[in-house]
Structure 1
Amino acid sequence: MDVGIDTELTVLAAGLIFLLALGLGVWKYRQMVTAENHLTHPYVDIAHRSALLYSFATLLTAVFVELSAWPTAVNLVAAGVLVAFFVIAIGSYIAHGALRDTTNQFERPDRTTTVAMTALIVGEMGGFSVLLAGFVWGSFLGG
């Protein structure tokens, strides 16, 4: 395979997140089968769907990693930050689904919620912006 280690690791992350999504689908199915109303806890459903979407978002990220003109280390950090926030988000949904502690994590926001969401926004948008800029630089401006 003639791709960089940064791309390979990002594709691996996509595959692992997709595998997690499939496992969460089993959890969702079990809740649907065993619940009296045949519904899952909202956060079990959110965890399953978000993992599916994040797996494909991570695969898209791998394309931008591969086409970025930036050094491998820059691409790895940018993709790593992005994927870390994807996984943290999925993990929080799993926790809420397992604990059944809320049906809306923003029902009682506090300072921690605000800091976490700000970090998520900066991390996800910042990480992807670095990769997008690397793609634009390499493909259209300087590469």
Structure 2
Amino acid sequence: MPWLIGLAVLAVPIVEIYVIIQVGQAIGGWPTVGLLILESFLGAWLVKREGRRAWNALQTSLQSGKLPGRELTDSALILIGGTLLLVPGFITDLFGVFFILPFTRPLARRGLTRFVNRRVTNLTPAAGFGPFVPRTDEPRPRQGDVIQGEVIQGEVVDPEKK
């Protein structure tokens, strides 16, 4: 996973520059800059509007006493989408708008939920390594001492004391 993030950090700017150059060659330099500025303003307005809706839904959920799972996921998606809209470029703006729009957000929410569930089910508690470490197929070592013995009428008999 860390190598994938590193690859994205390197590849996304290169792809964005390539797309901006291609759009600039198709419609001209100033119209491309104007389109990028227009996308930024539209994205800021959209983040403000959907962020306010998500905040109100979260407050309503908390006041009614129910767990705000969907509301928190929507808030996270709006935060991610807003961050993507801050990055200049057409591809990141496309993904940002996908995460923010109310009619495409359920698709992104399902994908995010699947991703998180897959990551959580692949984790298991282990002492000494923080709360979770990746699950392995190796058997877990037993904790404590193992005492050999027999049970007779509810009592444990130590075979060494016979």
Task: Name the TM-score class by shorter chain.
Answer: 0.3 to 0.5
Q: If each structure's helix is expressed as a fraction of its own residues, which one has the higher value? A: 1
More contact order relative to length (CA 8 Å, sep ≥ 6)? 1
Query: Taking structure 2 as the reference length, what is the TM-score of the superposition?
Result: 0.39
Structure 1-normalised TM-score?
Answer: 0.43
